[in-house]
Amino acid sequence: MKTKDRNAQTTGAPAPTGPVVPPRVSARRRRPGLIALAVVLITGGGAGGAVLLMESGQRTEVVTVVRHVPVGQVVTDRDLGKASVALDPAVKAVKSADRAGVVGKRAAVELTPGSLLSSGQVTGNSLVKAGEQVVPMGLKPDQVPASDLAPGQRVHIVQVPGEDQEAGASQQQPIPAHVVKVGAPSPGTGEVVIDVAAARSQAPTLASWVSTGDVRLLIDAQGGS
């Protein structure tokens, strides 16, 4: 009792006579609409992530190019490989199940290793068109350009004066043609056999030029005729 009186005298306030009631704290109003919206967003986000994960996990086996194939060259099975990729619908790649339908066709464009193969990059059309004939040309290294020749490449064959002809002798106009096949150079002489397709009306003349060996092969510019 003396302690309570002493405290009262120190603070100048009357001593408490009953239990202390804690202050009232008003509860925050809950908004059911916002809670429901939050649940929907969380659920939707989780579903979207699941769908994305499922789509990224769907992989397709497609055909790839493993060896360089020039334009016009026949595609062989050794030129192709396969890969399992998550394929974008916009990419029209050849599926592995359709690989057999690609082998034996010709490259419509240059095929580079490491790329996916699409159906538009190969063609079943022959390089020899109607009204053309194939003329084989056995050429020495100095009769062809140093640049690599490829099937489908457009060229001109010109006649040059032979040893028994004068330098100013009149010559015929160059004959346009395009390459059908390029053989491997001969180990001994370096001579290479090139099959070219020329118009039927000019093929006999071209064959007679080739028989004399007095010809040169010129490569046309890209898109030239």
Q: In what order do the strands lie in the sheet with 132-139?
A: 132-139, 192-199, 175-182, 154-159, 215-219
Mention the CATH class of domain 132-219. Answer: mainly beta
Q: Where are the domains of the chain?
A: 60-123, 132-219
| pLDDT by 10s per residue, the chain, length 225 | 445 555 545 555 555 555 666 556 555 555 655 555 555 445 555 555 444 444 555 888 999 999 998 878 889 999 999 998 887 777 788 998 999 999 999 888 889 999 999 888 898 888 888 899 999 999 888 888 888 788 888 999 999 876 665 555 556 789 999 998 888 888 888 899 999 999 999 999 999 999 988 898 898 876 544
CA contacts within 13 A on the Cβ side of 47:
6
Q: What is the model's pTM?
A: 0.55
Spacing of C-alpha 189 from chain mean position: 38
The CATH number of 60-123 is which of 3.40.1400.10, 3.40.50.970, 3.90.1210.10, 1.10.3720.10?
A: 3.90.1210.10
- The C-alpha atoms of residue 32 and residue 39 are separated, in whole angstroms, by 11
What φ, ψ does residue 218 adopt, rounded to 5°?
-115, 135
